[in-house]
Amino acid sequence: MKVLLINGSPRTNGNTARALQEVANSLAAEGIETETVWIGKKPVRGCIACYQCMEKSLGRCIFNDDVANRIVEKLPTADGIIVGAPVYCGQPNGAFLAVWQRVCISARKHIECKPAASIAICRRGGSTAAYQCMNMPFEGLNCPLVTSQYWNILFGMNEGECEKDTEGMQTMRTLGRNMAWLLKNLKRGDAIPRPADEPWQPMHFIR
């Protein structure tokens, strides 16, 4: 089993990377493989709602000049997904949102129903708003949200400073163990299959 970790921070070895590493260590102790993708520092595109990915059944974003489709390529082999991002102005950083929105729309079939979790890292405030924002795509894709002993939030500003947040680091370790526990139970031979979906009934409020 494998969990895909997505580092949405522009910093290679910042607090987001450290938080994800703590989760990865817990998963490794439980025999779960991990792979981390960093979105990097290069410019990324935002979704323009062209829906070409859906109308043409591409299974990837129509734009192929940034990291988004590299993430898409790794999703089919992932049993679980964890995204981490720093908080900017009370929200997940913009580059992460730009990439992740495109991934969730174009590759939804590779995300749906997989255990998932979000991690928000902040200096002081806005963490809960950002955390909820990051969870919403998973909630719309039938993903079981993996929680911890507290919200998956960690505090720190300078590189490595999050290690001083002892409760936050413990929360990361618990998150890893909870993800492993859920994945192992879902992979059991006697696991109950998920109920079938009703046909989608889309409705727009503008008539």
Q: Kindly report, residue by residue over 107-150, the tens digit of the pLDDT.
A: 999 999 999 999 999 999 999 999 999 999 999 999 999 999 99
Q: How sure is the predictor about 205, in pLDDT bands with cuts at 50, 70 and 90? A: confident
Domain count across the chain: 1
The answer to whether position 196 is within a domain reads no
The answer to whether position 26 is within a domain reads yes
Ramachandran class of 160: left when φ > 0, alpha when ψ lies in -120 to 50, beta otherwise? left
At 170 the pLDDT is: 98
Domain residues for 105? 2-186
* Calpha distance 132→136 (Å, rounded): 6
The answer to whether position 58 is within a domain reads yes
* Calpha distance 207→190 (Å, rounded): 47
* DSSP string covering 41-76: SS--PPP----HHHHTT-SS-S--SSSHHHHHHHGG
Structure tokens at 79: 């049993």
The CATH number given to whatever domain includes residue 6 is: 3.40.50.360
Q: What one-letter code names the amino acid at 73?
A: E
Q: Kindly report, residue by residue over 148-204, the tens digit of the pLDDT.
A: 999 999 999 999 999 999 999 999 999 999 999 999 999 988 888 888 989 989 888
122 within 8 A of 22, measured Cβ to Cβ: no
Q: Which residue has 């990291």 as its token pair?
A: 67
At 193 the pLDDT is: 85
| pLDDT (average), residues 76-84 | 98
The answer to whether position 65 is within a domain reads yes
- Please, which residues bridge with residue 87 across strands? 92
pTM: 0.95
CA nearest to 93, candidates 140, 143, 34, 39: 39
The CA-based dihedral angle spanning residues 14, 182, 33, 120, taken in that order and rounded to the nearest 10 degrees: -10
